[in-house]
């Protein structure tokens, strides 16, 4: 999944670039980068010169070339995925002055679609899930397996470029209801020893390195 970066001068610029005509909303990103209609992307939004970075999943809805004669900016229209509704509404509320800029820790997590195995320590059964986002503090695991209450878990995942699955200890911090479009649970990392801490840092570093290696959006004319 490619990363598309957009630096907004202020939160109000989000409204200026917002695309309400798209079914789930979207954003115009000035860029000369090549993009394919329907391509899955992660939109990395930086709000203001010192603002937080917000990460959202989307698809390329359209693209247009730049025209010097009419001063038309080259760029692409990115439609947000339905799963990004809460993030979209948060940004719209802030841009309209209806809400304060809050800590965007949850929005700074890198969106993923990484297969993962997880199990409760001491249990024989390994459960299947999908790592949907990851950050330095924790992650979200989408899974159909039901859980009750907080408990420790061990996640086993192999990030791109790794030959062996990496076991990481975590504790369930919250659980999404079964009827949710993406049932699962959020975890906070737990480093029980120095080795566990290194595995967590290496896992997150690998994923951030992959995101950082993606070609950023170039200023459009």
- Tens of pLDDT, residue by residue over 122-137, are 888 899 998 888 887 8
**Boundary of a domain, candidates 106, 134, 152:** 106
For residue 219, tell me if it sits in a domain.
no
Q: Are 95 and 111 in contact (CB under 8 A)?
A: no
Binned at pLDDT 50, 70 and 90, residue 214 comes out as very low
Binned at pLDDT 50, 70 and 90, residue 29 comes out as very high
Strands of 2-8's sheet in order across: 2-8, 40-47, 53-64, 75-80, 26-30
Distance CA 152, CA 122 (A): 10
For residue 216, tell me if it sits in a domain.
no
For residue 170, tell me if it sits in a domain.
yes
SS3 state of residue 201: helix
The backbone torsions φ and ψ at residue 210, rounded to the nearest 5 degrees and listed phi first, read -65, -40
SS3 state of residue 184: strand
Residues 6 or more apart whose Cβ sits within 8 Å of residue 71: none
Binned at pLDDT 50, 70 and 90, residue 1 comes out as low
pLDDT mean across residues, the chain = 80
How many C-beta atoms lie closer than 10 Å to residue 22's C-beta? 17
pLDDT for 215 equals 41
Domain count, the chain: 2
Same domain, 6 and 102: yes
Q: What percent of the chain has pLDDT over 90?
A: 20
For residue 220, tell me if it sits in a domain.
no
74-81 mean pLDDT: 94
Q: Which range marks the domain in which residue 73 is found?
A: 2-106
**Boundary of a domain, candidates 79, 106, 133:** 106
Binned at pLDDT 50, 70 and 90, residue 24 comes out as very high
SS3 state of residue 46: strand
């Amino acid at each position: 999944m490619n990363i598309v970066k957009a630096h907004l001068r202020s939160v109000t610029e989000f409204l200026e670039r917002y695309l309400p005509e798209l079914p789930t909303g979207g954003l115009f990103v000035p860029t000369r980068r090549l993009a394919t209609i329907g391509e899955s992307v992660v939109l990395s939004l930086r709000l203001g010169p010192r603002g937080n970075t917000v990460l959202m999943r989307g698809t390329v809805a359209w693209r247009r070339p730049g025209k010097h004669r009419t001063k038309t900016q080259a760029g692409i229209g990115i439609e947000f995925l339905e799963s990004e509704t809460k993030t979209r509404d948060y940004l719209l509320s802030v841009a309209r002055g209806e809400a304060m800029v809050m800590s965007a820790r949850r929005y700074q997590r890198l969106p993923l679609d990484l297969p993962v195995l997880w199990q409760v320590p001491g249990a024989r059964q390994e459960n299947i899930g999908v790592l949907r986002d990851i950050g330095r503090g924790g992650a979200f695991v989408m899974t159909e397996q039901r859980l009750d209450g907080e408990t420790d878990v061990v996640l086993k995942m192999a990030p791109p470029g790794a030959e062996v699955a990496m076991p990481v200890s975590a504790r369930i911090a919250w659980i999404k209801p079964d009827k949710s479009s993406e049932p699962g649970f959020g975890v906070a990392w737990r480093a029980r020893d120095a080795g566990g801490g290194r595995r967590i840092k290496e896992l997150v570093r690998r994923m951030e390195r992959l995101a950082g290696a993606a070609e950023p959006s170039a200023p459009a004319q």
